[in-house]
Amino acid sequence: MAEHTLDDSDASARDGVFGSQRRQPTQGRRRSGSRHLTDAVIFVVSIASALILWQVVSQTGLVDERDLPSMTSTVSELGSMVKTTAFWSAFAHTAQGWAVGLLVAAVLAIPLGIVLGLSPLTASAFRVPVEFLRPIPSAALIPLLFLTLGTNFKSEVFLAAFGAFWPILLQTMYGIRDVDPVTTDTARSFRIPRSGRLWRITLPSAVPYIATGMRIASAVALILAFTAELFMGTPGLGSKLNYAQSFGLTTQLYALALATGVLGLATHLVFAAIEHRALRWHPSQRAEVL
């Protein structure tokens, strides 16, 4: 009888230990779901608050409605524009300039950042040109582009790529240099070749940094693609906004600015979602499990 009692108590103990372990993933998923719901609510409330504040400022006369149309009239104007082919053509031109500029920047900056991160000698050799070019405002290159490439799609891509190049380059360099030295020494002790350490240790450790650089660069590329359209007249939302400003179409101007903001918000959310899904293994992306 005692033996049965001990066996039952042991089984209960094991069920208690392993049962708690089985409950932990469920609790983690619940906690993660609750956190995501909270983030979504905060996101929606912040946008709604900004729109309501915009409406109040315009309707109460704090800013003349001729200078700041109401939120409702602007959204209504945007709704009318969305139904036209001309709007979507301009939207597609802006998105294309942003995407191509960001892609060119990534193709150039990531390999160069890996090389500069791995080789202190090469980094020292390139330090002067990097520190010379990086502070130059991208908009200051517009007159030079007028004289060289002209007012075309190439100029827009160049401007977007130039601005997006630096966040990706610097983040890649930091990621390559921030590899845990203990991990590297352990790999050397196991006689893993240099190429193996690069692919198995260094690059995976640098991926979160590169992802952050891409997310920052995506916003920079969109700003500069829009700037090129605004000041150089290349087709896109920027050129349409310039047209609206020239003819005093204030409501249309704000509607186009709102459309550009929505595009920027969408690109940020897409990159954040991709980063979260691709880097689930990284501690910064894991849900807390208590």
Contact predicate 171/213, CB 8 Å? yes
Identify whether residues 58 and 74 lie together within a single domain: no
Domain that holds residue 278: 69-285
* Domain end residue (candidates: 19, 48, 65): 65
- Amino acid in position 180: D
290 in a domain, yes or no? no
Convert the pLDDT of each residue in 25-84 to its tens digit: 555 556 656 777 887 888 889 889 988 998 999 888 888 888 889 999 999 999 999 999
* Domain end residue (candidates: 30, 48, 65): 65
Per-residue pLDDT at 287: 47
Given a cut of 90, is residue 114 above it in pLDDT? yes
Please name the residues in contact with 188: beta carbons below 8 A apart, sequence gap of 6 or more. 197
Per-residue pLDDT at 282: 62
Identify whether residues 139 and 263 lie together within a single domain: yes
Convert the pLDDT of each residue in 240-272 to its tens digit: 999 998 888 999 999 999 999 999 999 988 888
Identify whether residues 129 and 19 lie together within a single domain: no
**Using CA atoms, how far apart are residues 208 and 278, in angstroms rounded to an integer?**
9
147 in a domain, yes or no? yes
Identify whether residues 73 and 15 lie together within a single domain: no
Identify whether residues 229 and 258 lie together within a single domain: yes
**Using CA atoms, how far apart are residues 104 and 110, in angstroms rounded to an integer?**
10
Residue range 90-118: average pLDDT? Answer: 94
Q: Which residue has the higher pLDDT, 188 or 247?
A: 247
Q: What is the CATH number of the domain that holds 235?
A: 1.10.3720.10
Per-residue pLDDT at 1: 47
204 in a domain, yes or no? yes
Residue range 268-282: average pLDDT? Answer: 79
Per-residue pLDDT at 32: 59
Identify whether residues 34 and 96 lie together within a single domain: no
55 in a domain, yes or no? yes
Identify whether residues 125 and 262 lie together within a single domain: yes
Identify whether residues 90 and 130 lie together within a single domain: yes
Residue range 134-163: average pLDDT? Answer: 89
Q: Which of 135-144, 193-202, 231-240 is predicted with the least confidence, judged by mean pLDDT?
A: 193-202
Identify whether residues 19 and 58 lie together within a single domain: yes
Identify whether residues 4 and 80 lie together within a single domain: no
Per-residue pLDDT at 31: 63
Mean pLDDT of the chain: 83
pTM: 0.80
DSSP secondary structure, 181-235, as one string: HHHHHHHHHTT--HHHHIIIIIHHHHHHHHHHHHHHHHHHHHHHHHHHHHHH--S
Q: Which of 3-17, 48-62, 198-212 is predicted with the least confidence, judged by mean pLDDT?
A: 3-17
* Domain end residue (candidates: 22, 37, 65): 65
**Using CA atoms, how far apart are residues 169 and 247, in angstroms rounded to an integer?**
41
Percent of the chain with pLDDT over 90: 42
Q: Which residue has the higher pLDDT, 283 or 231?
A: 231
| Count of structural domains within the chain | 2
186 in a domain, yes or no? yes
Identify whether residues 128 and 255 lie together within a single domain: yes
Given a cut of 90, is residue 279 above it in pLDDT? no
12 in a domain, yes or no? yes
Identify whether residues 47 and 136 lie together within a single domain: no
Q: Which residue has the higher pLDDT, 17 or 208?
A: 208
Residue range 113-138: average pLDDT? Answer: 88
**Using CA atoms, how far apart are residues 25 and 289, in angstroms rounded to an integer?**
7
**Using CA atoms, how far apart are residues 159 and 228, in angstroms rounded to an integer?**
7
